[in-house]
Amino acid sequence: MFGLGKLLYVVVLVINGIAVLSEDRFLNRIGWGSTTTTNNGNGIQNQFNQFQTGLDNNEGSIKTKLINLISAVRTLMRIPLIAVNIAIILYEIILG
């Protein structure tokens, strides 16, 4: 059945998936990188800065929050994820 242990595994796997996303190979291609540029009528602007200033209100709010979440997970959670993954692997090896 579904328990807290399985929920922990799902959360760790999702955070692992977010942490390993490559900004150069994947995020910039879909326009979710922090350095993605766009060319509007005013010239080339940093799309991330455009969202921060509120020039693109129709999708900027949620998209900006998701970009910030991905960036925060990639920078802040890498070291703790190593420890959590090692603990889960050892738990699975020892207690199966």
Q: Domain count for the chain, please give it.
A: 1
**Segments of the chain scoring below 50 in pLDDT:** 36-45, 47-48, 50-52, 55
At 84 the pLDDT is: 93
For residue 53, the enclosing domain spans 4-95
At 89 the pLDDT is: 93
E-strand stretches of 3-94? 37-40, 43-46
Close Cβ partners of 60 (under 8 Å, ≥ 6 residues apart): 50, 51, 54
pLDDT digits 0-9 by tens, 2-26: 788 889 999 999 999 888 877 777 7
Look up the pTM and report it: 0.61
Q: What DSSP state is assigned to residue 22?
A: -
At 94 the pLDDT is: 93
- Residue 11 contacts residue 77 (beta carbons within 8 Å): no
